[in-house]
């Protein structure tokens, strides 16, 4: 069972939290992925060493670009509740 659970934080704000209580979640994901591979006819690409190497290269380059681009948060990208989360965490640690 996966669903959005409504919780109330320490400041009384309502928040949604993604909840997963099904131990078979990962097995289900693998089954969906296997079905997708068959539906999109990706077997030939995924079981050919040359194609696998190309896919890995593309994924690594994409991950590297995202890492380089997201190293600094611009002021407009900082969440509104950032300081509230910071203060909550500091309070937990006894500061």
Domain ranges of the chain: 23-69
Tokens of 8: 């109330």
Rounded to 10 degrees, what is the CA torsion of 31, 6, 9, 14? 130
d(CA 9, CA 83): 14
92 has a pLDDT exceeding 60:
yes
Q: Tell me the pLDDT tens digit for each residue of 11-37.
A: 889 998 887 766 676 777 788 888 888
| pLDDT for residue 83 | 61
| pLDDT for residue 53 | 84
The answer to whether 19 and 9 are in contact (CB under 8 A) is no
d(CA 9, CA 12): 5
Q: Tell me the pLDDT tens digit for each residue of 35-90.
A: 888 888 887 777 778 877 888 888 888 777 765 555 555 555 566 666 666 667 66
């Amino acid at each position: 069972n996966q669903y959005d659970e409504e919780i109330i934080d320490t400041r009384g704000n309502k928040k949604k939290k993604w909840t997963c209580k099904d131990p078979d979640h990962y097995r289900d994901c693998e089954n969906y992925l296997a079905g997708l591979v068959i539906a999109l006819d990706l077997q030939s690409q995924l079981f050919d060493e040359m194609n696998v190497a190309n896919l890995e290269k593309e994924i690594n380059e994409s991950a590297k670009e995202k890492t380089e681009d997201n190293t600094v948060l611009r002021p407009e990208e900082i969440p509104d509740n950032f300081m509230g989360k910071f203060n909550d965490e500091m309070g937990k640690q006894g500061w």
